[in-house]
């Protein structure tokens, strides 16, 4: 992801009234998160290919107890998935899960690339936990399989 692409994502984030107000914070956190997620996709075996929101946040310098952590991390990983979707790849934020449920948060289901029948038209701001139904569970698992296939193939 180059700076021009990051800037485009930033502009869209701002137009929607996004929670991250500083271009420098956006560039730093989204850039680092994207690198971390791609590293996981390339290096970690499929069955272990998950990271919690808290662990990812700590790796990028956004700490779980910091102000607005949950809102910020949702926008950050969402931006990574929007970028991947726009480049014809699976939603990389499928790798990021809630520590309690080991599943993606509600915001994942509002991202571009989610089939209409599985979409949840909620904001990333809705951070309450919910149980995945069979269709969403299947889609999510398939996204992880596609991430594994896509990024492991790039290494070959």
3-15 helix and 69-86 helix, angle to the nearest 10 degrees: 120
| pLDDT score at 153 | 80
| pLDDT score at 18 | 86
| pLDDT score at 125 | 54
| pLDDT score at 122 | 66
| pLDDT score at 121 | 72
Cα–Cα distance measured from residue 148 to residue 92, given in angstroms and rounded to the nearest whole number: 10
Domains in the chain, number: 1
Cα–Cα distance measured from residue 31 to residue 88, given in angstroms and rounded to the nearest whole number: 19
- Enclosing domain of residue 147: 3-155
| pLDDT score at 131 | 74
| pLDDT score at 56 | 98
Low-confidence ranges of the chain (pLDDT < 50): none
């Amino acid at each position: 992801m180059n700076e021009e692409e990051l800037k485009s994502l930033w502009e869209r984030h701002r137009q929607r009234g996004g929670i991250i107000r500083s271009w420098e914070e956006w560039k730093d956190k989204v850039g680092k998160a994207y690198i971390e997620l791609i590293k996981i996709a390339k290096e970690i075996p499929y069955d272990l290919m998950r990271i919690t929101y808290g662990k990812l946040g700590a790796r990028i310098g956004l700490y779980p107890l910091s102000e607005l952590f949950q809102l910020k991390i949702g926008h950050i990983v969402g931006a990574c998935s929007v970028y991947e979707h726009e480049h014809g790849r699976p939603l990389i934020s499928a790798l990021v899960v809630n520590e309690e449920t080991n599943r993606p948060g509600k915001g994942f289901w509002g991202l571009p690339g989610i089939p209409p029948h599985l979409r949840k038209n909620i904001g990333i701001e809705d951070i309450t936990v919910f149980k995945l139904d069979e269709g969403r569970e299947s889609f999510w698992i398939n996204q992880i399989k596609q991430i594994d296939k896509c990024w492991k193939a790039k290494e070959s």
